[in-house]
Structure 1
Amino acid sequence: MSQLTKRSENYSKWYNEIVVKSGLAEFSGIRGFMIIKPYGYSLWDRMKTILDKMLQMTGHKNVYFPLLIPKSTFSKQKEHTEIFSEGCAVVTHSRFKKYKEQEKLIVDPESKLPEELVIRPTSESIIWKTYKRWIQSYRDLPILFNQWGNALRWEMRTRLFLRTTEFLWQEGHTAHSTKKEAIEETIKILNIYTDFSEKFMAIPVLQGIKPYMDKFSGSEKTYCIEALMQDGKALQIGTSHFLGQNFSKAFDVKFTNHNGKKEYVWSTSWGVSTRLIGGLIMSHSDDKGLILPPKIAPIQIVIIPIYPKNKDNIVNEISIKILNILKNKGIKVKYDNRITFTPGWKFHEYEMKGIPIRISIGKNEIQNEKVEIFRRDTCEKTYLSWIDLKNSIPKLLDEIQKNIYQKAFQRTQKLIIKLDHYNDFKNQINHSGGFIYAHWDGTKNTGKKIQEETEATIRCIPIYNEQEKGKCIYSGNPSLQRVVFSKSY
């Protein structure tokens, strides 16, 4: 396996290479569409399993709505339509027919659909059309639904996992009888996403609210979590939207409240996508390949036998015993006893794949009743006795998880900076990046000017921001609080 481009030389190229060489995904040949390979899908499946459990524990139920949305339904909420219509794919005909003279397939003009169908960029419209049938009374509320599926949004600039035309995701859509309950739901989901990111993906995040010009179209307020990647750029990890009554009014969804009066339903929507895998790569990985936190890794330990020549029965026997001991502890273990590849080749392969722990066993280890332990996060080698494995390995996995998080946390903390002068702002953005806390006058025009001159955008207004009077870093106009600027993906 070939070496990766160094992060310090070309961060973008390093990222693309690591996705492909680690076996996560590859380009499909259609711009913006990717093939998620078995290892990449197993990583997504692991994320999905953990997050799904967290959502179901808070009362959410999984459903599935159609991929195709009638144009008339999609067009109901005007603000929503204006934004998403630019990136929609539309189905106009239902079949092909063979063009006899040239033996080519052409669209059958007689198969034109009575109404055009939009391939979902998101599902609010089709879901709220359905909720109109399902919601009549306060007894029908709340509805706490989550959907795992795919979505399609045409993208001008694409990058594997980070920004693709088609992506996998989960999207939650809830309906409530009160504004208070809907807002509480929005924040509850934001906290679930935060816990998932920090406790499982080992990615520290900043909770915030999007400025009014960047909120989700059709929402009253968009909450987000932002993470800082190794190159000092921000990545939006997840969003949770308080929709107010915008969609219930667009689709005329009312319920009879406790007092017998008709009232529009309150709602939320929220989601994370396969972009999480991109964030995982850029947060932790190094010039040797992936580094995966044990709690999210599809394979936590790989055991590699070292055979002198041919398959050694003793080495194989001890390896299988260790395999079973670890499996019985609930650890995800792979035993790679392929003889078609050398141990050195396997070492390199699993370093690239980011397996948290590698155990190697040969004749020397058997004689000493020990195994060699390699930690992917620190690239350190140690030896453990067979007797200690049962108790030591779970502790080591926990230590690795904490170490990966602390490394990301400390890096992030170093790049959280308060600035008050625009020249300092530009210098920081151009050289190191980071989360820059600076005053903003609250106008869309100022935000646009800063972006044009520095490529930095307002990532969020931190939820727990203290009120602090100051002057806008660009215009000098009065400001009541700092917001967070950064370049982003």
Structure 2
Amino acid sequence: MSATQDKPAAAPKGQKTPKPNKMAPKPKNEAASTGAIQIGIEYKKNEDFSNWYQQVVTRSEMLEYYDVSGCYIFRPWSYRIWQEIQKWFDSQIEELGVENSYFPMFVPKKALETEKEHVEGFAAEVAWVTKAGNTDMEEHLAVRPTSETVMYPYFAKWIRSHRDLPLKLNQWCNVVRWEFSNPQPFLRTREFLWQEGHTAHATKAEADEEVTAILELYRRVYEELLAVPVIKGVKSEKEKFAGGLYTTTVEGFIPTTGRGIQAATSHCLGQNFAKMFNISFEDPNAIAEGGESKPLHAWQNSWGLTTRSIGVAIMVHGDDKGLVLPPRVATVQVVIIPCGINKNTSDEDRAAIDRTMDETFKALKKAGIRAKVDDRPTYSAGYKFNHWELRGVPLRVEIGPKDVKAGQAVAARRDNGEKSTVHLASIADDISKLLDTVQAGMFAKAKAERDASLAYVTKWEDFVPELNKKKLCLIPWCEGEACETEIKARSKAQSAEVLDDKAPSMGAKSLCIPFDQPQDEDKKIKAGETKCVNCGKDAKRWALFGRSY
């Protein structure tokens, strides 16, 4: 790619040019001293993944580093992806009877400490507000790491009768978790955006049904919108949400590093929080039978999806040219670029190209396709190709003098570089079908890579070698907490490989116990016969273990 540079934007008068965040890696040849903006990606994804990722997210204008470590600026190119996810997810949860709301971000200390097991799970991550101006505050306020203790005192106030159930609320907000020393854009940040749903039900059966329904929506967000394959399952007792009854999850996978990543979770909280916050209602059966009414505690759920999803999609689909965005969430799905124009091109041909591009843009827009015309006169067609490839636009439509006369255009796919001819008379239909093909192709490729990285391991001596091949391991497991701890320690001790400086080598942890267990006779867990890979006790189910983010 050309090393062409954009001119640096001058800082406003009286202001200094912002300095880059010290936590950000310093890519080679970065013209930090002059403020010049580099065009193109200098690092190879398979050779230096950490610096490749840092360059992709900044040079594609997805994100900008901020002066507070672990906090980032979401630029329009990435925030639009979040808006597309939000729009789709909102439409789905509305069908389930969930309503959007908003609760304050500050949590009184006494409220946070109401549920001991819950606060212990977040204790190391909580950011506290202790002063207002120069005055010490009488009661310290936590910045929400999650909102159970913010919302549930009001659930207790609002729920009095079985007629008040179910109560189903969701909020789109930010949370703060001050939990680590090496932030990574989108994946592990001290402040992040998410949706968090909190619901209360009269029975466990109702709560269980919702947990499953929400998890399926999370699968669809990743697979249908982001073209990222995930595995649905339940977390181990050790990895479940603090204070909850059980946690279900969708787990992603980054092939380049061989690491799993928790993509979204749907928790059944049971009645634990209801008992702590006195969320109760009258027993309708006792009332109906004329007996003495007694309170019953609600069954509760919580579920969340974060902006981590954007980072997962970048890591899975991106290549050495930059972003590769799935059409369904891309800010711009199609960029239209004039081609074949030179000093000999007549004014008549130039006008015809301009007119055709405008007509094409209007046709695509009318069909609901997010399109953009790049007719900047000071840049060559090649420069524009590189510019939009870096930003991951799914399709490029090239229109030149010969194309206008032939009533056609050339469509180039960002995901695999394939070019095809589309007809101007049916441009909206042709492009719409091609976008669907790109979306399906991206998912199929990612799934094939993920499936090739799943290893069935039945002997411990094969476990760490498979991890070192950048694979996830499915193992027969006893599901014991002590065994899980030992697997992590044992695998860490036997491996010294470092994959990248943001995700150093470590032991394997349990990612989930997949709902879809192997059905082949040679892989089925046989009670009393199949043994745990680590401890040798009877195995209960196949479990997914791996290194993770």
Q: 1:88 aligns with which of 104, 107, 126?
A: 126
Q: 1:122 aligns with which of 124, 146, 154?
A: 146
Alignment of 1:218-367 (within 5 A): 218-231=243-256, 232-259=258-285, 260=287, 261-306=294-339, 307-308=341-342, 312-367=350-405
Q: How many residues are aligned here?
A: 474
**Aligned with 2:439: secondary structure?**
helix
Q: 1:200 aligns with which of 201, 204, 225?
A: 225
Tell me how far 1:20 sits from its aligned partner: 1.1
Q: Deviations over 1:105-135 (max 9, x none)?
A: xxx1xx2222111100000011001111101
- Give distance in 2, aligned partners of 1:351 and 1:357: 9
Range 127-136 or range 5-14, more displaced: 5-14
1:443 equivalenced with 2:495 (yes/no):
no
Percent identity, please. 36
Q: 2:536 aligns with which of 462, 470, 476?
A: 476
Range 303-312 or range 190-199, more displaced: 303-312
Q: 1:217 aligns with which of 242, 245, 253?
A: 242
Match of 2:495 in 1: none
Tell me how far 1:146 sits from its aligned partner: 0.6
Q: In the alignment, residue 308 of structure 1 is paired with which amino acid?
A: N
- Give distance in 2, aligned partners of 1:390 and 1:182: 44
1:6 equivalenced with 2:40 (yes/no):
no
Quick check: which one's strand share is greater?
A: 1
Q: 2:62 aligns with which of 24, 29, 34?
A: 24
Tell me how far 1:358 sits from its aligned partner: 0.4
Gaps of 5+ in 2: 1-38, 288-293, 493-506, 518-523
- TM normalised by structure 2 equals 0.84
Q: 1:430 aligns with which of 457, 461, 468?
A: 468
Match of 2:208 in 1: 183
- Give distance in 2, aligned partners of 1:391 and 1:38: 28
Match of 1:101 in 2: none
- TM normalised by structure 1 equals 0.94
Q: 2:419 aligns with which of 337, 357, 381?
A: 381
Q: In the alignment, residue 175 of structure 2 is paired with which amino acid?
A: A
1:458 equivalenced with 2:510 (yes/no):
yes
**Aligned with 1:59: secondary structure?**
coil
Match of 1:395 in 2: 433
**Aligned with 1:488: secondary structure?**
coil
RMSD: 1.6
Match of 2:504 in 1: none
- Give distance in 2, aligned partners of 1:11 and 1:446: 32
Tell me how far 1:316 sits from its aligned partner: 1.1
CA contact (8 A) 1:301 1:332 kept: yes
- Give distance in 2, aligned partners of 1:343 and 1:201: 29
Range 308-317 or range 76-85, more displaced: 308-317
- Give distance in 2, aligned partners of 1:285 and 1:77: 42
- Give distance in 1, aligned partners of 2:220 and 2:360: 33
CA contact (8 A) 1:177 1:257 kept: no
- Give distance in 1, aligned partners of 2:540 and 2:131: 54
Match of 1:98 in 2: none
- Give distance in 2, aligned partners of 1:40 and 1:203: 17
Tell me how far 1:72 sits from its aligned partner: 0.5
1:487 equivalenced with 2:547 (yes/no):
yes
Tell me how far 1:41 sits from its aligned partner: 1.0
Tell me how far 1:467 sits from its aligned partner: 4.2
- Give distance in 1, aligned partners of 2:264 and 2:214: 10
Tell me how far 1:6 sits from its aligned partner: 1.1
Tell me how far 1:299 sits from its aligned partner: 1.2
Q: Deviations over 1:305-324 (max 9, x none)?
A: 23435993221111000001
- Give distance in 2, aligned partners of 1:215 and 1:385: 53
Tell me how far 1:171 sits from its aligned partner: 0.2
- Give distance in 1, aligned partners of 2:200 and 2:426: 52
Tell me how far 1:83 sits from its aligned partner: 1.3
- Give distance in 2, aligned partners of 1:396 and 1:464: 32
Change (3 A) 1:37 1:468: farther
Q: Deviations over 1:431-478 (max 9, x none)?
A: 2323x1112233323322322334211100112336444222122222
Q: In the alignment, residue 243 of structure 2 is paired with which amino acid?
A: G
CA contact (8 A) 1:468 1:482 kept: no
**Aligned with 2:425: secondary structure?**
helix
Range 383-392 or range 278-287, more displaced: 383-392
**Aligned with 2:462: secondary structure?**
helix
Q: In the alignment, residue 283 of structure 2 is paired with which amino acid?
A: N
